[in-house]
Amino acid sequence: MDFELTSRQRDLQMKTREFIANKIIPMESDERQGAHGPEESLRAELVDLARQAGLLTPHASIDMGGLGLSHVDKAIVFEEAGYSRLGPTALNIHAPDEGNIHLMEVVATREQKERWLRPQVQGHIRSCFAMTEPDGAGADPSMLATTAVRDGDDYIINGKKWFITGAHGASYVIIMAKLEDGSATMFLSDMDVPGIEIVRLMDAMDTCFTGGHAVMQFNNLRVPASQVLGELGKGFRYAQVRLAPARLTHCMRWLGQARRAHDIATQYARTREAFGKPLGKHEGVGFMLADNDMDLHTARMHIWHTAAVLDRGETGNFESSRAKVVCSEAQWRVVDRCVQILGGQGVTGETELMRIFTDMRSFRIYDGPSEVHRWSMARKILDGKAPTP
Amino acid sequence: MDFELTSRQRDLQMKTREFIANKIIPMESDERQGAHGPEESLRAELVDLARQAGLLTPHASIDMGGLGLSHVDKAIVFEEAGYSRLGPTALNIHAPDEGNIHLMEVVATREQKERWLRPQVQGHIRSCFAMTEPDGAGADPSMLATTAVRDGDDYIINGKKWFITGAHGASYVIIMAKLEDGSATMFLSDMDVPGIEIVRLMDAMDTCFTGGHAVMQFNNLRVPASQVLGELGKGFRYAQVRLAPARLTHCMRWLGQARRAHDIATQYARTREAFGKPLGKHEGVGFMLADNDMDLHTARMHIWHTAAVLDRGETGNFESSRAKVVCSEAQWRVVDRCVQILGGQGVTGETELMRIFTDMRSFRIYDGPSEVHRWSMARKILDGKAPTP
Amino acid sequence: MDFELTSRQRDLQMKTREFIANKIIPMESDERQGAHGPEESLRAELVDLARQAGLLTPHASIDMGGLGLSHVDKAIVFEEAGYSRLGPTALNIHAPDEGNIHLMEVVATREQKERWLRPQVQGHIRSCFAMTEPDGAGADPSMLATTAVRDGDDYIINGKKWFITGAHGASYVIIMAKLEDGSATMFLSDMDVPGIEIVRLMDAMDTCFTGGHAVMQFNNLRVPASQVLGELGKGFRYAQVRLAPARLTHCMRWLGQARRAHDIATQYARTREAFGKPLGKHEGVGFMLADNDMDLHTARMHIWHTAAVLDRGETGNFESSRAKVVCSEAQWRVVDRCVQILGGQGVTGETELMRIFTDMRSFRIYDGPSEVHRWSMARKILDGKAPTP
Amino acid sequence: MDFELTSRQRDLQMKTREFIANKIIPMESDERQGAHGPEESLRAELVDLARQAGLLTPHASIDMGGLGLSHVDKAIVFEEAGYSRLGPTALNIHAPDEGNIHLMEVVATREQKERWLRPQVQGHIRSCFAMTEPDGAGADPSMLATTAVRDGDDYIINGKKWFITGAHGASYVIIMAKLEDGSATMFLSDMDVPGIEIVRLMDAMDTCFTGGHAVMQFNNLRVPASQVLGELGKGFRYAQVRLAPARLTHCMRWLGQARRAHDIATQYARTREAFGKPLGKHEGVGFMLADNDMDLHTARMHIWHTAAVLDRGETGNFESSRAKVVCSEAQWRVVDRCVQILGGQGVTGETELMRIFTDMRSFRIYDGPSEVHRWSMARKILDGKAPTP
């Protein structure tokens, strides 16, 4: 057992930390950010900075142009990138691209990879993942209503999706649809084709995702059979391939944001005076800082442990569910406490904190709300299928 | 002991409830609302509706044109008004006007009342309350830095204030400033005079307050001695006169918002299906609804009890501190649970819920953060000065 | 709406408070208390003291020899009695007798009352309530397995019960059993008859209940039809008649214990020095005292409100479930904080606190665990049957 | 980074697990356990079993007769031992002996080791650690009042100590006393000498510590200078040497108890039926099991991480404080939830659970209450001295 970073990990950590501090944080006040995330021109500049720093798309395989990071490597690097809300965009490790890249690496054909994955790894194009639907498919995948019907060499796809992060501006989409036999399959499609309509952008509490969240409609979208992703009928299995690590990378990036919040609050508690002494000397505030430290370390340990499980080649479904609940709730407590410490400044745009707060609330919901994970964990515990020491 | 409403209270409750349901909720989607609250034209329309309904400024004295509501009466009516985020604006009972009206009733001279209070009660003008300062005066009043220096029959005021809710668009301001002897005094001033500068509007998580929150500068603001509010040196005492009930009216209005959130979530839990049954039939969700009900009733009981204490003529400082902490935390838990129940829809603008969530976070901070109230309560408990049964 | 006590209530409150302070607290160190509560000789002495003070069985009807207290009256008096763990025993308002007395008043025949209720109200005999069974009847009444079979003018009862509080030393028992048609009925029986066996006393965390908790066996217990309590088949309905107020009187008595704990902790925090100042001046401790005060007041408000609902003649099932969850959890938090404040002295017998802690844990379980009440509340909320303002 | 056990660790884990399951758990119902822990005859039998299994005093150095376990090794073995409340007694790794053995290894002279440590490692004698005092020395060491005055070649010790775990029946004691220059020093003394009086045994919530907790008096206790432990004036430094790992071994042993509680509750939730399905299928219960799993894993990760820090030779003061707070609170939540799941059976002696509950409450207090650790952590965070990633 060992909690030490390798020297390569330590180097990557420091390199990323400095990159974020020196290149990315200064851009946080750039005005090209609105209700639906950074604009494309800003994104391109950020990606360029990461490219110059040798940190672009580090989780992609070396073959595809990445650094071939392991899950544990990612835990180190993504936390650092997450320290700025613009960091994941710069490194091209934001959701949903990060997870899509992982899925494409594992499942896509050589041709599919060359067509979509390689330019994506190079930061030139973005993607989206169209699974969630208005009537319930999301937390409960059995409710999937979008259909794909075979028509000669093609499939005809119809259905409505929403909460499709990054759809606006994406070059391609991964679509989850139901075949006539009821099984779920994934399809790849360019976005700029007939039959794909972005109905509207949703007004959302978080504003950190490039392209925001969209409602999409597939109207007789025609997709050639060559654009099936992986095998027919394995849609849900691939969703798990994508989700277990994708959940964990959420934890990593948000850990960076929570640490940032804690650093802002700590600095404030050191310098702000109230009732005759620095705020942090009041136990009511100091205890919150201590609780933050506990929660941050708890989150980090769950992430590292789960990453190591994934690196051993296990599916890590239980561990990633658990890490997702623990991290999303612990990191939320951290950010909420930081807001409280800053008082009025915590609920206004005087610091980055307010945006961290409003960005982070959805983390307890996306990729499975806490309740679904608790339910799934309970089932496994009762069935004797939870990991034991 | 008795928890029954009088028939007048019941009538007012029902009248307000119907007014909100029929006249105000339909206006929630009006686009004249932005980052800094409802625009003046929208506010004027809302006020007009309340005037027609006979519900305008109900807490003002009958002499000034109100309904002369007691604190308990207010508890009933304000909760109903708060059910819509536009309700308090319509009834002219939003912060800071509601508290300013109360303070003016108690302290202002007849002339001051005729000049500022009467048109305010009629809904024609708004006011703001300039106490909080960037370097700390707020939670800790001893740090007050704004000065008022006697100059003939006038006072010359200099200083910087922030988080001044509603300053933008207000007709008059109540200013807290320090005299040369170090004591604090309140002054009244029109807003459209030389020496008052609105430096900027602050970007804030809440967007429900008309006029938003401003940074203000007083640059040699000249105020005649006739515009001193109350007696010299009694600034902090008057702040308490204003704050104990003002804290409680916050609790009342936000209780309405929390109840609204709970109603949205309950309706969603009744109709949304997941894993084969309505969401609410899952204990994980049902228990959240039960907890909501407990928290809402807890908040209501603290409000009613404290209102009754104030109606007996007591200062109710301990009780209002306690109610403020209990309500702000209980109501926040309610709204947070509701977001979780709605999932993706809770963190997007699909319902009113998202705005309730972002509006409400500051309630745990404004008018004294929870920590300051806990500290103050602890001191009184240790000194044997807390109320006992 | 009014939160004032009547002068009679105030008198009863003060009289009880003084009685507990002067007569009962001095007896807390009496050694005639063991793992299964006060011994009979101690109980008799305590009852005698209450009789002399005119406070014995105050909730019983005047006709039966009590003071005919309303539910709100009880809220006042029982909290005071609960201030000492021996108080409820002294006043003859402990569980299960308190609830049994209420049930007998409502349901028993004149003959049954004269035979069992009158001597019980006089403090001469005790009773027990045999409902809970090892295989589940308790939280889930549908699992009732004890049977009563008609045999001429008698019923023959067979079954096993456990957690039967006060059975050891009781003079009579109320038995819940299932008739041949599956309906539940209550029966009265003397305890010293053939067919009733106390199998063993259970080792329990709480040690405040006279007679402790027993496992009982009914072996062909013969009960004349005249000893049916109320009507045949109405067993569950009567259980509700008993439970809604019985739950609430638990809340009242434990509120007294929680207040006692808070007073012990407050006194300790005033006088104990640590790190250069009284413990209570550390915010970490002071905040706990403030939270205690909030929780105590919350509990009291729920109790008072529910008592007023019951006094209006409503069943108050929702309100008493809610009050039970709120009180049992709030009061537990209070006692747990007090233990933390006292440190080592909180977990040893240096004060009454340790016993309050171990006595109180079961309150979150008895008379329906929190989870069953939350479930029941959720169902009513979803069905639109929860009380609304 | 690596979370795998070595094969030796895995072997030790399995060996200990089987030993506890097969040899120790069957003895849990042995009646030679009372309010002050296992009797000496029971202890001797348990130690004998561990000796035969090759598991006695495994943390002691090989030189002294132990297995020379590293901190991480201990994390593995002690958790397993803690699975039964008798396990730590059997393995001779209970408090305070476990910590005393560690301290003696580091600080004692060869002669002192041969006289006291060797027989202790062999399980023949026990020890106690006399630091805490009635007037406050404990959480706040500056309040130390026991004095040691030089008298020729001896020291004369006077003072009062309490909460001295295991004093009754111990063969030797480590005494913390203040020299005339105000510095703190540790002394060793046999227990059966004039000048040491065990005033009384304290009634305590926990009953798992052999010898219970005593109040001790030193009346002109004469100790030769050769029995000074380590160097003069370094008492507090040695207390830290002892405390940082001792805190962590508490975490390890209690983790075993918490896991046991979780296993009892899981088994109950699998088999007990309520409302038509196994208890665990109710989300209200299943979610508690999921939360337990999260808390157990969180505790384990903090323990493992801190053990690895100590194995690197760092003092790990911050990490062990943090682990102590996190573990004591997380494990307490686990045990409290388990009680709730078992309902009536959780608060009675039907399972081991009740004793785990009453034993564990003091863990949030002993070796520094949570509040002191939070305060200490906050100070370091504010001073920039907390570990960072």
pLDDT digits (tens, 9 = 90+) for B202-236: 999 999 999 999 999 999 999 999 999 999 999 99
Query: Residue D244's pLDDT is what?
Result: 82
The dihedral built from the CA positions of residue D37, D43, D49 and D55, taken in this order, carries a sign that is: positive
Alpha helices by DSSP H, listed for A20-132, are: 40-53, 71-82, 87-91, 97-107, 110-112, 118-121
Helix or strand or coil: residue A62?
Answer: coil
CA distance C242 to C130: 13
Which of A295, A370, A381 has the highest number of chain D CBs within 10 A, making it the mutation to test binding with D?
A381
Q: Is there a contact between B57 and B93 (Cβ–Cβ < 8 Å)?
A: yes
CA distance D332 to D330: 5
pLDDT tens digits along A13-57: 999 999 999 999 999 999 999 999 999 999 999 999 999 999 999
pLDDT tens digits along A60-76: 999 999 999 999 999 99
Tell me which residues of chain A, numbers 319 to 358, contact chain D at a CB-CB cutoff of 8 Å.
Answer: 322, 325-326
Give the distance from residue D140's alpha carbon to the nearest chain B alpha carbon, in angstroms.
Answer: 21
pLDDT tens digits along B33-66: 999 999 999 999 999 999 999 999 999 999 999 9
In D179-325, at which residue ranges do the beta strands (DSSP E only) sit? Answer: 184-190, 196-201, 213-224, 228-229, 273-274, 277-278
The owner of tokens 């909030």 is C294
- How many other C-beta atoms lie within 10 A of the C-beta of residue D203? 15
Say which CATH architecture domain A127-233 belongs to: Beta Barrel (2.40)
CA distance B322 to B341: 29
Average pLDDT rounded to a whole number, residues B358-371: 95
The owner of tokens 């205890």 is A287
- How many other C-beta atoms lie within 10 A of the C-beta of residue C380? 17
The dihedral built from the CA positions of residue D16, D17, D22 and D24, taken in this order, carries a sign that is: positive
Query: Residue A33's pLDDT is what?
Result: 95
Rg (CA), chain D: 21
Q: Look at residue A137 and tell me whether its pLDDT is greater than 80.
A: no
Q: Does B194 touch chain D (CB under 8 A)?
A: no
pLDDT tens digits along D191-200: 999 999 999 9
Looking at chain C, which residue has its C-alpha nearest residue A283? C283
Q: Dig out the tokens for A194 from the structure.
A: 């007939």
Pairing, β B184-190 against β B228-229: antiparallel
CATH of span B127-232 = 2.40.110.10
Q: Does D282 touch chain B (CB under 8 A)?
A: yes
CA distance A1 to D300: 13
Give the CATH H-level superfamily of domain A7-94. Answer: Acyl-CoA dehydrogenase/oxidase, N-terminal domain (1.10.540.10)
Interacting residues of A373 by C-beta distance below 8 A, sequence separation 6+: A321, A322, A324, A325, D290
Confidence of residue C143 (pLDDT cuts 50, 70, 90): confident
Q: Dig out the tokens for D287 from the structure.
A: 């979610």
Confidence of residue A135 (pLDDT cuts 50, 70, 90): confident
CA distance A232 to A186: 8
- Domain spans of chain C? 7-94, 127-232, 236-382
Query: Residue C252's pLDDT is what?
Result: 98
Chain B residues touching residue A285 (CB < 8 angstroms): 371
Give the distance from residue B282's alpha carbon to the nearest chain D alpha carbon, in angstroms.
Answer: 7
- Give residue B313's region: left, alpha or beta (phi > 0; psi -120 to 50): left
Query: Residue C136's pLDDT is what?
Result: 73
Q: Is there a contact between B356 and B335 (Cβ–Cβ < 8 Å)?
A: yes
Interacting residues of D320 by C-beta distance below 8 A, sequence separation 6+: D243, D244, D245, D247, D248, D306, D310
Q: Look at residue B173 and tell me whether its pLDDT is greater than 90.
A: yes
DSSP line for D262-287:
HHHHHHHHHH-EETTEEGGGSHHHHH
Q: Look at residue A172 and tell me whether its pLDDT is greater than 70.
A: yes
Q: Is there a contact between A16 and A80 (Cβ–Cβ < 8 Å)?
A: yes
Q: Does A281 touch chain C (CB under 8 A)?
A: no
Q: Look at residue C294 and tell me whether its pLDDT is greater than 90.
A: yes
Interacting residues of B31 by C-beta distance below 8 A, sequence separation 6+: none
Query: Residue D136's pLDDT is what?
Result: 73
Query: Residue C138's pLDDT is what?
Result: 65
DSSP line for B153-219:
TEEEEEEEEEEEET-TT-SEEEEEEE-TTS-EEEEEEESSSTTEEEEEEEPBS---STT-EEEEEEE
Helix or strand or coil: residue D175?
Answer: strand
Looking at chain A, which residue has its C-alpha nearest residue C287? A284
Which of D132, D202, D329, D348 has the highest number of chain C CBs within 10 A, making it the mutation to test binding with C?
D348
Chain B residues touching residue D284 (CB < 8 angstroms): 283-284, 287
In C84-243, at which residue ranges do the beta strands (DSSP E only) sit? Answer: 127-130, 147-151, 154-165, 172-178, 184-190, 196-201, 213-224, 228-229
- Cross-chain residue pair C344–D370, CB shorter than 8 Å: no
Q: Dig out the tokens for D246 from the structure.
A: 């001792």
In A96-253, at which residue ranges do the beta strands (DSSP E only) sit? Answer: 127-130, 147-151, 154-165, 172-178, 184-190, 196-201, 213-224, 228-229
Q: Is there a contact between B203 and B158 (Cβ–Cβ < 8 Å)?
A: no
C164 alpha-carbon distance from chain centroid: 13
pLDDT tens digits along C67-82: 999 999 999 999 999 9
Residue from C225, C215, C210 nearest C96 by CA: C210
Chain D residues touching residue C354 (CB < 8 angstroms): 203-205
Inter-CA distances, A174 with A95, A108, C374, Å: 13, 11, 42
Give the residue with greater pLDDT, B137 vs D114.
D114
Q: Is there a contact between D275 and A368 (Cβ–Cβ < 8 Å)?
A: no
Helix or strand or coil: residue D171?
Answer: coil
Alpha helices by DSSP H, listed for C122-191, are: none
The dihedral built from the CA positions of residue C379, C383, C386 and C388, taken in this order, carries a sign that is: positive
Q: Is there a contact between A326 and A298 (Cβ–Cβ < 8 Å)?
A: yes
Max distance between CA atoms of chain C, in angstroms, equals: 79
Half-sphere exposure of D9 (CA within 13 A, CB side): 17
Which of D1, D309, D321, D325 has the highest number of chain A CBs within 10 A, making it the mutation to test binding with A?
D1
Alpha helices by DSSP H, listed for chain B, are: 7-19, 40-53, 71-82, 87-91, 97-107, 110-112, 118-121, 235-271, 283-311, 317-342, 353-360, 370-382
Query: Residue D240's pLDDT is what?
Result: 87
DSSP-assigned letter for residue C348: B
Confidence of residue B139 (pLDDT cuts 50, 70, 90): low
Which of B70, B293, B371, B373 has the highest number of chain C CBs within 10 A, making it the mutation to test binding with C?
B293
A61 alpha-carbon distance from chain centroid: 18
Question: What are D348's strand-pairing partners?
Answer: C204
Chain C residues touching residue D366 (CB < 8 angstroms): 344
Q: Does C370 touch chain D (CB under 8 A)?
A: yes
Q: Does D145 touch chain C (CB under 8 A)?
A: no
Query: Residue B240's pLDDT is what?
Result: 87
Query: Residue B136's pLDDT is what?
Result: 73
Inter-CA distances, D224 with A309, B124, D153, Å: 56, 90, 6
Confidence of residue C40 (pLDDT cuts 50, 70, 90): very high
CA distance D170 to B69: 73
Q: Look at residue A141 and tell me whether its pLDDT is greater than 80.
A: no
Q: Is there a contact between A371 and B285 (Cβ–Cβ < 8 Å)?
A: yes
CA distance C59 to C78: 9
pLDDT tens digits along C231-290: 999 999 999 888 888 999 999 999 999 999 999 999 999 999 998 999 999 999 999 999
Helix or strand or coil: residue C269?
Answer: helix
In degrees rounded to 5, what are phi and psi of residue C184?
A: -100, 140
pLDDT under 50: residue ranges of chain D: none
In one-letter notation, the amino acid at residue A157 is I
Inter-CA distances, A178 with A143, A159, A224, B51, Å: 10, 10, 16, 56
CA distance B204 to A351: 11
Q: Look at residue B141 and tell me whether its pLDDT is greater than 90.
A: no
DSSP-assigned letter for residue C202: P
ipTM reported for the complex, 2 dp: 0.96
Interacting residues of D116 by C-beta distance below 8 A, sequence separation 6+: D104, D108, D125, D127, D171, D172, D188
Confidence of residue A139 (pLDDT cuts 50, 70, 90): low
3-class SS shares of chain A: helix, strand, coil, % to 5: 55, 15, 30
The fold for domain D127-231 equals: Butyryl-CoA Dehydrogenase, subunit A; domain 2 (2.40.110)
Question: What are D148's strand-pairing partners?
Answer: D157
Q: Is there a contact between D52 and D123 (Cβ–Cβ < 8 Å)?
A: no
Q: What percent of chain C has pLDDT over 90?
A: 94
CATH of span C236-382 = 1.20.140.10
In one-letter notation, the amino acid at residue D5 is L
